[in-house]
Amino acid sequence: MKKILGVIALFFVGVYFLLTQYFPEVQINKYDSIETAKKQKAIENGWLPKNLPASAYAIIETHNLDSNIVFGKFSYKEEDEESFLNGLKYVDEIYRKEEFLFKINQKENLVNFRNTNANKGMK
């Protein structure tokens, strides 16, 4: 009986190890507007850039709790484009503001973003 309990315990320890090491804690969140994102403290937690345009909508962010890597996208209304772009630094087809990088499709008013942690460990 002790051997069976030992094997069962070993099995569950192995499953726990596999789940925690090979399936990192990744969360995907969707916000219909910047107001919703603020209420859920996504900006405060660093999952969304602080400089989102006031008209940002259809916001999606994915963050890894283990590595602090964040990816996401949002759409915005054209009226906010100029003020949003004015706060960014243009660097080789990418814009930067603080710890976030932005790829902007001005034709579709769509922005893809990621934090600079995504570059760590990449060649």
Q: How many domains does the chain have?
A: 1
- At residue 122, the pLDDT reads 38
14, part of any domain: no
Q: Is 7 inside a domain boundary?
A: no
Do residues 54 and 103 touch, judged by C-beta distance below 8 A?
no
Global pTM reads 0.72
Name which of 95, 102, 54 is nearest 78 in CA terms: 54
State the residue for tokens 């460990």: 121
**Residue 72 located in a structural domain:** yes
In a domain, 3, yes or no: no
Residues found in the chain = 123
Distance between CA atoms of 104 and 121, rounded to whole angstroms? 25
N- to C-terminal Cα separation, the chain:
52
Is there a domain that residue 4 lies in?
no
Note down the domain range covering 40: 25-119
CA distance 81 to 51: 12
Residue 85 and residue 82: Cα distance in Å, rounded? 5
pLDDT digits (tens, 9 = 90+) for 19-74: 556 666 888 899 999 999 999 999 998 889 999 999 999 999 988 887 788 999 99
User: What pLDDT, on the 0 to 100 scale, is given for residue 119?
Assistant: 64
